A and B are shown apart, each in its own frame.
Chain A
Amino acid sequence: DVKVTQSSRYLVKRTGEKVFLECVQDMDHENMFWYRQDPGLGLRLIYFSYDVKMKEKGDIPEGYSVSREKKERFSLILESASTNQTSMYLCASSQGWRYEQYFGPGTRLTVT
């Protein structure tokens, strides 16, 4: 079974803090994704990566950066957290674009 794990289920941070969300997959998948999910807006793509050190912006990259130094690990970084970044963050991985995506359990981030 594919397993995608995220470093925290719940996280509370203060405005201005630097926040790291980590995602690890164990199936040697090429593609990894970071989404945020908000009520009434659905899932929105923040960034994705199609190879080590390769990344592309999604629909809402502002305020975020990413890092993929190893194939199995994809990190989402909030350089200076703001209250409007309070959300559920979901990581996913896939063998390729034409294959199903496997999701992690999500991190519910609250910025106060």
Chain B
Amino acid sequence: KNEVEQSPQNLTAQEGEFITINCSYSVGISALHWLQQHPGGGIVSLFMLSSGKKKHGRLIATINIQEKHSSLHITASHPRDSAVYICAVLSPSGGGADGLTFGKGTHLIIQP
């Protein structure tokens, strides 16, 4: 089973700062998800990517398949970005109990 490591576990930054959250995994994957979870529980999918880079508003996700590494960047961070960010990887077989493996999450706080 894939091992997914996120860093940092906790991050506190000031409004406006550029934020980077990292995700590394141990074996090859077919795709990687970045998820956002606000206080209260609801989880929202931000990106699913299998190569290169994706951008949505102030959020950018990149993946390097050879290095088994992905980053999530937030530009011009805002207090409403405060949330837990979760990385999840999809195995090459794409399904079954081993299909999706989750990291433990990065708890981000943006202070005004």
> Which one of B19-27, B43-51, B57-65, B69-77 is at the interface?
B43-51
> Which one of A12-20, A74-82, A99-107 is at the interface?
A99-107
Do B42 and A105 have beta carbons less than 8 Å apart?
Answer: yes
**Of A41, A58, A59, A101, which one neighbours B45 at CB under 8 angstroms?**
A101
Interface size on B, residues (CB 8 A): 24
**Of B31, B95, B104, which one neighbours A50 at CB under 8 angstroms?**
B95
Chain A stretch 56-94: residues in CB contact (< 8 A) with chain B? 56-59, 88, 90, 92
Interface size on A, residues (CB 8 A): 26
Residues of chain A lying within 8 A (CB to CB) of residue B40: 105-106
Do B45 and A100 have beta carbons less than 8 Å apart?
Answer: yes
Residues of chain A lying within 8 A (CB to CB) of residue B30: 98
User: Interface of B with A (CB < 8 Å)?
Assistant: 30-31, 33, 35, 40-45, 48, 86, 88, 90, 94-97, 99-100, 102-105
The 8 closest A-B pairs by CB, nearest first: A106-B41, A103-B43, A42-B104, A97-B95, A100-B45, A43-B102, A97-B94, A42-B102
User: Interface of A with B (CB < 8 Å)?
Assistant: 40-45, 48, 50, 56-59, 88, 90, 92, 97-106, 108
